[in-house]
Structure formats: C-alpha cells, structure tokens
C-alpha cells in the first residue's frame, strides 16, 4: 500500500488508462459542503444522541417525533448547501469517460442528492434517499412538502411524523436503518460495477458499516487497483493499493485532471 499526499506520475498513468471506473462514496465527500459526517458529534437538540442511536427502527418506534424531526432538519440542511469540488470533479470525470466510450459509476452510501446536483448520474443509493418517504407499516409512498426548518439552526422542539393516507400508520424516511436490508437492486448494481471496473475509487467513508464496506473488497478478486481518498486511515485502508491522504474536495479534482 502506498500512502500519498498528492497524485503521483504512477497514479496518473493508472488513472489515464482506466476506461471503467467505479466510485464508492461516503459521508466524507459531502463534509466540505457542510453536511456533517455520520460519526461526528451532534449538536443542538440531538447532542445527547449519536447518529447511530437515531438511525434505527427501534428509535423511530420509541421516539418517533425526535427521529422524524432529526431527518426533516437534515433534509433542510442538505437543501441549503451546495455540491463541492469533489462532487463536481466526479461529474466532470463521468461525462469525460462517457464521451470517450467508457464509464464512471457512482455507488454512494449517502442519502443526500449532492452527486446529482453536481450533474452526475448515481448508479446506486445503497442506503436510500433522505427525500423519499413511505409508510412504516404498509410501505405506501408518501409525498411531502419541503421541510420548513432552517437547516443551520436546531428546530425548537420535535414534531410528530405525518400518518399514512392508506392505513394511518406513521410515515418514515426512505433510508436504510441499522438491521434493515439494503435495496437489492442497488447493492447488485454496485457489486457488478466494482467487478467490471479497471480501477475502484473509495472516497470519504470510514469503512465501518456493512455490507457497503465490503464492496471495495470485491475488486481484490480480479486484482483491480483500489484507491482510497480520506484525510485519515479508515477501517478498509489496509486493502487499498493507494491511499490519498487528503480531502476529497482537493483529491478528486486532482484525479479527474489526471484522467482527462
Ligand atoms: C473525509 C472528509 C473529506 C471527513 N474528504 N473524506 C457484519 C459485522 C458486524 C456488523 C454487521 C455486519 N453486517 C451487518 C452488520 C450490522 C450493521 C453494521 O454494519 N454495523 C456496524 C456499525 C458494525 N449493518 C446493517 O445493519 C446494514 N444492514 C444489514 O446488514 O442487513 C442485513 C441484516 C439484516 C437484518 C439482520 C442482520 C443483517 C444496514 C446498514 C444501514 C446503514 N445506515 C446508515 C444510516 C442511513 C440513514 C441516515 O443517514 O440517517 O447509513 S448508518 C450511517 O453509516 C449511514 C452511512 O451511509 C453509513 C456509513 O457511514 P460513512 O459514509 O462511512 O460515514 P462516517 O461518518 O462513518 O465516515 C466519514 C469518513 O469521511 C471518515 O472516515 C472521515 O475521515 C472521512 N472524511 N472529511 C474525504 N473532506
Ligand atoms: Zn400505510
């Protein structure tokens, strides 16, 4: 494994020759847009809880208003921020490869829409979307207006979730909580993309949460080069061929420049 502070000539040669690139992104790629990562300490109304405590169906069952308001507030925050140079570099790289007959696929653990707003096509949202809603009991989709919170200020108090028009149960966010299955189609598409890639880029994830954290390891089956972008070592750094130690807002534009 090579730990690097910049894109070297060797890495440039590797990237330039790759026509099929698979990118696996996590919360770190949205950090420079102002979206807190999942494992950062929380503030305001939620400071006594870790995000891991709130992202479960048990938490929603026992404290629905608290969990619901956390998600509505996070939606507000995401709507108030913009994609950063990491997102736009991936969109540019994807467009460049597609124009040349290749492809760059993005599978993200993120529930935000910043890749899309940067102009990229996302192959798989492995943990769902924070902007989708469905009934917690019957699964009926629910359309809701944009939340009225200021995403930079904590809401004054928790609000109850709305109820399902079909069965009257509570409406929940369309994300994947701990203990729940990932959407099979998204996981299969991400696996296939990694298996058919010439190079795999893993950006901004701690590599803690399964089964998403095991996706990059599929690249090892064919000896496909793995590149990690993260300012610090992650749980999956040891499996990487190259670790670019820095923020994705700097490293992804450098990789895209090397590629195109
Ligand atoms: C930067 C940066 C910058 C900062 N530039 N980088 C095997 C072993 C042990 C446990 C399990 C296992 N298999 C399954 C489990 C259980 C569980 C799990 O993995 N638990 C772990 C905590 C151990 N997994 C599940 O429950 C999954 N389901 C499942 O396995 O189903 C099968 C099953 C069903 C029933 C019974 C048994 C099995 C579901 C997982 C769902 C995860 N959902 C969440 C919440 C989504 C909704 C929401 O957002 O609220 O997804 S959890 C949370 O973690 C969120 C994230 O997508 C996910 C990953 O986090 P991520 O992206 O890595 O963020 P961070 O914050 O951890 O890291 C950020 C990184 O960025 C850091 O490294 C920074 O350094 C870096 N960074 N600035 C680049 N500028
Ligand atoms: Zn229902």
pLDDT tens per residue, range 138-174: 999 999 998 888 888 888 789 999 999 999 999 999 9
The residue whose CA is least distant from atom 7 of ligand 1 is 210
H and E: helices and strands count for the chain? 9, 9
Rounded average pLDDT over 117-130? 98
Report the mean per-residue pLDDT for the chain.
Answer: 96
To the query of whether residue 87 is one of the catalytic residues in this protein, the response is no
Q: Given pLDDT bands bounded at 50, 70 and 90, which one contains residue 9?
A: very high
Set out the domains of the chain in order of their start, with CATH numbers.
1-33+83-127+181-260 (3.40.50.1220), 36-80+128-175 (3.30.1600.10)
Give the number of the ligand closest to the Cα of residue 205.
1
The ligand 1 atom nearest the CA atom of 209: 19
Angstrom distance (rounded) from CA 257 to CA 11:
12
Residue 99 CB less than 6 A away from ligand 1:
no
The ligand 1 atom nearest the CA atom of 27: 62
CA of 39 to the centre of ligand 1 (A): 9
243 annotated ligand binder: no
Query: If we measure between CA atoms, which residue out of 193, 196, 177 comes closest to residue 185?
Result: 193
CA of 168 to the centre of ligand 2 (A): 6
The ligand 1 atom nearest the CA atom of 248: 5
Check: CB of residue 126 under 8 Å from CB of residue 43: no
DSSP label at residue 122:
P
b or e along 122-145 (b: 16 or more beta carbons within 10 Å of the residue's beta carbon)?
A: bbbbbbbbbbbbbbbeeeeebeee
pTM: 0.96
Give the number of the ligand closest to the Cα of residue 74.
1
């Amino acid at each position: 494994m090579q730990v690097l502070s910049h894109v070297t000539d060797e890495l440039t040669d590797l990237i330039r020759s790759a026509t099929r690139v698979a990118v696996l992104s996590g919360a770190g790629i949205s950090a420079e847009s102002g979206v807190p990562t999942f494992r950062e300490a929380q503030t305001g109304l939620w400071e006594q809880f870790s995000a891991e405590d709130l992202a479960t169906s048990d938490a929603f069952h026992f404290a629905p208003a608290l969990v619901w308001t956390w998600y509505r507030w996070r939606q507000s925050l995401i709507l108030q921020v913009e994609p950063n140079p990491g997102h736009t570099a991936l969109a540019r790289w994807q467009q460049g490869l597609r124009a040349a007959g290749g492809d760059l696929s993005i599978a993200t653990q993120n529930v935000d829409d910043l890749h899309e707003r940067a102009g990229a096509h996302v192959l798989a949202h492995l943990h769902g979307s924070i902007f989708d809603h469905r009934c917690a009991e019957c699964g009926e989709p629910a359309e809701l207006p944009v939340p009225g919170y200021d995403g930079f200020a904590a809401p004054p108090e928790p609000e109850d979730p709305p109820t399902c028009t079909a069965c009257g149960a509570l409406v929940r966010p369309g994300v994947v909580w701990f203990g729940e299955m990932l959407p099979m189609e998204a996981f299969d598409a991400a696996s296939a993309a990694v298996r058919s890639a010439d190079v795999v880029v893993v950006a901004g994830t701690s590599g803690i949460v399964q089964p998403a954290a095991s996706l990059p390891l599929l690249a090892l089956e064919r000896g496909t080069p793995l590149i990690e972008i993260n300012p610090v070592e992650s749980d999956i750094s040891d499996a990487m061929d190259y670790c670019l130690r820095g923020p994705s807002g700097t490293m992804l534009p450098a990789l895209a420049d090397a590629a195109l």
